[in-house]
Structure 1
Amino acid sequence: MTAANRLAPHHETLTCYTDYSCRRTECVQRYNTWQNNRLRSVAEGTWQPFIDATPVREHLLKLYAAGHTPHGVSIRTGIDWNTVRLYTHAAPKQRRGMIRQTTPETAAKILSIPIQSGMPGRVDPTGTRRRIQALSAIGWPLKELGPHLGVQPDNVRRILVRGQKVYGATAQAAIDAYDQLRNSRPRRHGVSDIGVARALRNAKQHKWAPPKYWDQHPGAIDDPHFEPMYRVTKREIVAQDAHWIMTTVGLNKAETAARLGVDKSYIEHAFRDHPQYAVTAAA
């Protein structure tokens, strides 16, 4: 299922309406309010035009050199991660070029971040783990990724197992390694056939998503609220979505089925096959 018909990871910004087709009353009202304010400002001549994004790009590059990460900038500013990346990198697969102009408000948020070393700090490990997993899913053994991440080979597995935060420098190294290795063949870097086969088998067993999957979900690789559905059946997805709707929104099975566009019996079968998501509620 695509972002357009999946439930939004949160309902705090306009992205749930624009990117996930969310039509909750409060989200529609938030979008309409923003749009009305924009049109009113245009009519009054107070709408601030776009400005050159070069200072923002240069500032971001300095932040990255100091050890900050795009995800860290996103957290501090509230700007979508993928948008932050587009100030310094184009996204050809998404047919999106590098951002050349921006709003004064967005520029002010990014430029307000002081350029100081971000390396000693620790950041959310979600993006780092998913990039390691994605490279493993195309045949890179975990131990072979250690030198690319600047860590001991044994520590790569620990990053995947432990839930603790990682250093900003490690997160940035994972981004660089991912961008560099995602289109390369491990065998051309000296990885043995046995090593590649083991990596692929391990990734398949754990249902780790490859880079092509993350290309279909821009920005989601660093989003801890996004749950990847790679190699997950439609029935399991329905079970998860139904669980979320029934426990969060409070709808019954029939109402939930209508929202998901399936029969009520389909939800019952999904709960039966995946009891960890089952919800006991009125029909």
Structure 2
Amino acid sequence: MSRPAIPAEAFDHGDPRRYRRGCRCTLCKTGTTAAVRRQRYLRNTGRGTMVSPKRSAHHIELLRSHGMSDKDIQTESGVGPNVFYRITGQRTDIHRNSEARILAVKPRPVDVPRSGAHIPGRGTIHRLRALAADGWPAAHLGERCGKRKQFIVHLQNSNPDTTRVRRWVADYVTELSSQLAGQRPEEHGVAAHMAERIRKAAASKGWAGTDYWDPDDYDNPDFTPAAGDQRLSKNELGALRRAEIAHLITFNLSYAEIAARLGMSENYVRDIAREITTSVSRIRSTEATTDVTSLEAAA
């Protein structure tokens, strides 16, 4: 669908754009004549009316970093979308007037909630990783944030020290984290096998779940959660899981209760518990045999 034509009344008398839209008053004629003469003079002196889009493109990036959307910049500058994206793409030269309009737009403050400003992505990345460690699929998180699954996965695997994100993305992820923290995905329509697979993948990368984080620590570069961002080997991870299960068994909890606390499947907890029980029985049997042998030798 094409944009509606801008009426002549949108421009002041004396503006060549009003003349081109049909106004033939004396002011518009005079303004248009002056503009034509100026363009001719610039061309004759080797300067021309077309300039490189680099300065304008750099200024647009500055405005974006301060939270202004493309639509806001276009509205304030009076530059249409075709010219605007020709500038950002830096494909061809632009008119001096277009450059002047872009450069005349002043940046706004950065710290505006739900804005398009670029801010450090540390907190956003850690929150998304923590939700993955809890078993939440990237597709589910993306749907709630208005983003695609691929974007969420990209952020989760990005470097927290260098990545920057839009302010509105960070705000949505913060709100989402506060809503889902500590909840089991299986209770919100996520298949149990899928949640378990995501937990295992997150654990293999050393990502800590939301239980390991305080809300203020996600953005703290000096904080490392107990289950940390350090990558654990499979053997280390298995030993950690066995230790946690063995500790909870001493409280006479059911396999289902242990699985719910640790974010594991009940079958996995049952298998590990049986291994632990078998190992303990063997050790006790060996100790008893040793004691009997010692007594017989002493007699």
Bucket of the pairwise TM-score, normalised by the shorter protein: 0.3 to 0.5
TM-score, normalising length from structure 1? Answer: 0.38
Larger RCO, structure (CA 8 Å, separation 6 or more): 1
TM-score by length of 2: 0.36
Larger radius of gyration: 2
